[in-house]
Amino acid sequence: MKMLTSYNTTEIDFLRSLNDWELETVLSELPIVEQTRILQSLLTPLTERDEDIQRQRAKRSEAARIEIPSVGNQKRRDKCLDDPELFLKTYFPERYTIKFNSCHYQMIDTIVSRARYGGRQAIAAPRGIGKTEVAKGLLVYLILAGMVRCPLVGCATTGLARRVYKDVQDKFAKNDLLLEDFPEVCYPIRALEGAPQRAGKQHVAGKLTNIVWTASDYCRLPDVDGSPYGGIKMAYFGLDSAFRGFNIGGDRVDFVLVDDPETRESAKSYDQGVDREEILDRDIAGLGSQETNMAISLLTTVQNCYCLSYRITDANIKPAWNGVRFGMVETWPKEMEKWEEYIALRHKDQSAGDEHGRTAIKHYRMHRKEMDAGVKMLTDFYVKVKVSNRHTVLSSIQQAFDKIADTSMESYLTEYQNDPTPDDTEKQTQLTAATVANRISGLDRNCLPDPVCKIGLGVDIGDHYGWWVKIAAHGNAIGYVIDYGIMEVTGYVKGMSNAAKELAIHRALLDLHKDITEENPADFALIDSGDGDHTAAVYKAVKSVGDGWAAAKGYDAGRYHHPTITPGNRRTKRAFDHCWAGLQPGGIWLYNIDSEHWKHWVHLRLQANPWNEHDESRADGSLALFSSDDVRQHQTISHHLVSECRQEKFIDGKGWVRKWIVKSRNNHYLDAAALACCALGCLGVRLLSETVSNPLPKPKPKQVNPPPMRYQQRPGGWVPNRGTQWKRR
């Protein structure tokens, strides 16, 4: 009652409404002086202005008061809440005119399951099948079934997300049947009459409903006695907006519905796809609380082979999303030749001015049984078009081939099958962490195969840690990752002096050399010399270790230039495969490596199947990890090794242009593996195809005839010079 010490007009009105006992209780908590002042205010007669204010206030309060009607059909309500499909068909029949198929059923089952148990689900459905409409209806169902308390709607852009959010709001505000069966939710919304500013004063029997119903921010369902829906909130976002750490009034998001996460423009850009993938994996996945397993359902359509939708619905690339793809044609016709003839006839008719292709339709009528043989469609629905009282489309498979004829098979496979054909003008390394983790050599850690091997070691140096990989190889570049690990730089503290940093890194490298040379020591090791503090420490460690360890620095293809080795600089430069070494002051050899070449080398070796199918022996040019009983053993290194990829794109006038794309900055094991493979290259490890290749011969220099001699050559080869000196020819 502390606030009553100011006793404004509203509080005085409140005190006047109390009975004698209630008033005495309130005043007893106040000082004597305040009690006296309040009693004087209560005894002061109201002015005409005060009475008018009270009347207006009472009028507004009466206008904001609502009475919740009773449930219209409790039995129907309960049955629909038990069956999401029945819920959609009952309350929104005008929205679901197409018969549900296997794609719709799986969408319904997985979205409801994710809302109930949490986890991620990605579904790629054909265009025009109504996936967005199903998702919006299901969001209403999940709210009314009490499965979600703070759902979030997401789309590729904020504008698209606002449309979906607004449509869900309209389902609550404008659906009469929903109002009849769920009055505690829909009646307070309907009572606002489209004016969100009325929400602040709306009450039921004097108790505010606390409803929020805006189209630009978020909405909150009303608080009504006996209603389980009070306080449920819903908002929206676009993947082009900032929403990291999003919450409403302290409530964390528990369900995210993402519909079409990319635009046509963003799907064309691999970099934008990677950015949106990180938003899904990091920003959105981090919206939930630590105590719950937040649910994320994503609905999309694949646009090409490298877009976000393709990767996120591929179980091999992103297994955590449980991706599923649906195509409009589940089984293609057996008689494809007949359909090729149909397409040719349709094109001929359209060229003659017949847009519907009557000759092609006649062909289909005559051979329909043969042309429909073996066909299985996702849905039997098709748009019925009549021309001159005759149907021009007779089946869903005919409608599919009409689309193919009017566009192309590639377009249909992309838009309606979620199975785009690879673009020949753009290529990139298709290597996933799951693939790498399954490249197993069959040998235990630090064990070598029977053939004599060369062993290379690569060490990537960081501030507080270093990452190292040891690779053995024999034959035609048959590689084994026999060991890897993290080197801790003990004593490295941010802000310490350069001398102290150098000392910490130097000690860590010497300790690493001691630890990993006890068993299967490397024949050659390349240590990343880095920049600044690292360089001097690496040089000093390499000099302390002696032969077998060398400093290295990586350059990309744009800066890497292989030097020409001549008799004059042979002592100061050494040339290897995509690597050359220059002698530095103090007698240290610095190996300058083509980093992009050796990273790509690692990816190519991991892409190759490590086993020959015919004799179950290790395959040439393959790389595999050591075996482990723990399936999570290689999880970290696998993600590091695919943290970057090489993309090649054909550009007119320039040819194939290569570009390295960084997916994650956790790429340390990839750098270390590239250094280890470069060390093996310096030891002479090569692919057979490289050793037997026959490059084009260099053009011979044109022979230049020497000028005629001015002096006749004397016996012995001596000729006189113009001066007094003699010169040996």
Name 689's Cβ contacts closer than 8 Å, sequence gap at least 6. 621
In this predicted model, what pLDDT tens digit does every residue of 516-543 receive, in sequence order?
A: 888 899 999 999 998 766 888 999 999 9
Above 80 in pLDDT, residue 207?
Answer: yes
How many degrees, rounded to 5, is the angle at CA 704 between CA 700 and CA 707?
165
Backbone angles phi, psi at 554, to 5 degrees: -95, 145
As a whole number of angstroms, the distance between CA 631 and CA 137 comes to 40
User: Which of the given ranges, 174-183, 287-296, 502-511, 566-575, has the highest pLDDT on average?
Assistant: 174-183
Q: What are the backbone dihedrals phi and psi of residue 87, each rounded to the nearest 5 degrees, phi first?
A: -60, -50
Taking residues 680-693, what's their average pLDDT?
71
Q: What is the pLDDT of residue 2?
A: 37
- Rounded to two decimals, the pTM is 0.59
Assigned CATH for 74-325: 3.40.50.300
pLDDT in tens, 388-423: 778 889 999 999 999 999 988 888 998 899 988 765
Look at residue 59 in the predicted model and tell me its pLDDT.
Answer: 58
Taking the C-alpha atoms of residue 89 and residue 101, their distance in angstroms, rounded to an integer, is: 14
CA–CA separation, 636 and 172 (whole Å): 47
Residues 332, 335, 340, 342, CA torsion sign? negative
Q: Which helix (H) or strand (E) holds 177?
A: helix 176-181
Q: Are strands 524-528 and 454-461 parallel, antiparallel or unpaired?
A: parallel
Least confident range from 55-59, 180-184, 694-698: namely: 694-698
Cα angle vertex 617, ends 611, 623, to 5°?
45
Looking at residue 281, its pLDDT comes to: 83
CATH of domain 434-691: 3.30.420.240
Domain coordinates in residue numbering, the chain: 2-64, 74-325, 329-415, 434-691
Q: Are strands 644-651 and 478-488 parallel, antiparallel or unpaired?
A: unpaired
pLDDT digits (tens, 9 = 90+) for 620-676: 999 999 998 886 789 899 989 998 888 776 555 555 677 778 878 889 999 999 999
Summarised one tens digit per residue, pLDDT across range 66-107 is 888 999 999 999 999 999 999 999 999 998 888 898 899 999
